[in-house]
Structure 1
Amino acid sequence: MENSRARPDTPSVKELVKILYGGKRCGSHVNEVWPNLFLSDLTFANDRYSVWKLGITHVLNAAHGRAHSEGGPDFYGPSVVYYGIPADDSPTFNLSKYFSASDKFIHNALEVEEGRVLVHCAVGVSRSATLVLSFLMQHHRLPLVDAILKVKEHRWIFPNTGFLKQLRALDIKLHTQT
């Protein structure tokens, strides 16, 4: 959705890709990217013991029903609230249709006393990162670039170009609402 009505500080997708490539490429299987908000890959998410040990109370799986994703409502037990999104990591997949529901899930989870949220997909850099960026933009009013830079302080992320277009459109929409 590259258009001439973009706010002056909303970079193009090409510029966003440059920002994403920049900086250090750090990250382990799981990283806390915002207070009590964690991004991870399937290796970590499929290890119930590690999830429990980290004190995770809520899991948002952006690869629900996909290959090797063991998560589900019964996988973590009754102490963990689960929400699954059957997203494909494809530039043509419309992940933005899940922004509102996932934002609410993360926000409500963080409002719970001692709430700790794990957002994951397969690698923890595209689908799950996009949902975390959307949350930071909508609930913390961070512009897209600021949200990217904040998450990149703790984890290397790389949403695909289709997701970047959707986040860019959200950034423009949020700017026009203020």
Structure 2
Amino acid sequence: MASHKSKTGIKINATKAEQESSPVDEYVTPGGYELEKILNRGSVAYTHVNEVWPNVYIGDEQTAKDKCNLKRLGITHILNAAEGTWNNVDTGAGYYGDMDMVYYGVVAEDVTTFNLSQYFFSAARFIEETLSNPQNQLLVHCVMGRSRSATLFLAYLMICENMTVVEAIEHVKSRRRIIPNWGFLKQLRELDMQLLEK
């Protein structure tokens, strides 16, 4: 698997001298349009919930509110990327009071001007801590499970699993139909560039 370290490439038809003198091909964060093309190419059909990583599910509001299904899936932790009462999923820790559930909520709007990046590292820490115990099962959700929740999980893959934004998108979209809004894609691109500099 590739990482944020530079990727070397060799020209197929190059002479030995050209290969030795050519600079190392480095990964460059793609633009927003390129990321949208990647997102739209060959995605799976939309469903309520999908396992996108070992012990990690991304789902929608219906999944988050269906306690029987959560028990069936063995969910022990929930990251609500759409906490709040207006156009969000108003569950909160109290909603799961009758279950042995660890809850983490993020108050975020699915609009291009919202700064979701302020939660990238705290959400990544929550996911990382959850997955440190192989018995735990995590649901990351928002209203549709396609923009806010997907963006936070993509950020986790980039921060904690050393993936580029392209690798993270390719991984998740092969398992779930995701559509981060344009503003969130821009924030993921900025994160990608920050991580590349380190």
Q: 2:42 aligns with which of 23, 27, 35?
A: 23
1:110 aligns with 2:131: yes
TM-fit CA distance, 1:8: 4.4
2:44–2:174 CA contact under 8 A, matched in 1: no
Q: Find the counterpart in structure 2 of residue 10 from structure 1.
A: 29
CA distance change for structure 1 residues 146 and 68 in 2, over 3 Å: closer, same or farther?
Answer: closer
TM-fit CA distance, 1:37: 0.7
CA deviations 1:113-142 (Å, max 9, x no partner) are 401110000000000000000000000000
1:169 aligns with 2:187: no
1:69 aligned partner, one-letter code: V
Runs of 4+ with deviation above 3 angstroms:
none
CA RMSD of superposed structures (Å): 1.3
TM-score by length of 2: 0.83
Q: Find the counterpart in structure 2 of residue 69 from structure 1.
A: 89
CA distance in 1, matches of 2:93, 2:137: 17
CA distance in 1, matches of 2:80, 2:162: 23
2:174 aligned partner, one-letter code: E
Q: 2:151 aligns with which of 130, 134, 139?
A: 130
Q: Find the counterpart in structure 1 of residue 172 from structure 2.
A: 151
CA distance in 2, matches of 1:50, 1:169: 36
CA distance in 1, matches of 2:31, 2:43: 22
Q: Find the counterpart in structure 1 of residue 53 from structure 2.
A: 34
Q: How many residues align?
A: 171
* Contiguous gaps of at least 5 residues in structure 2: 1-25
CA deviations 1:64-118 (Å, max 9, x no partner) are 0144624211212351100111100000000000011100001101112401110
CA distance in 1, matches of 2:96, 2:51: 19
TM-fit CA distance, 1:27: 3.1
1:114 aligned partner, one-letter code: Q
Q: Find the counterpart in structure 2 of residue 50 from structure 1.
A: 69
1:29 aligned partner, one-letter code: H
TM-score by length of 1: 0.92
2:88–2:142 CA contact under 8 A, matched in 1: no
Q: Find the counterpart in structure 1 of residue 161 from structure 2.
A: 140
Over alpha carbons, which structure has the higher Rg?
2
2:82–2:88 CA contact under 8 A, matched in 1: no
TM-fit CA distance, 1:25: 3.5
Q: Find the counterpart in structure 2 of residue 4 from structure 1.
A: none
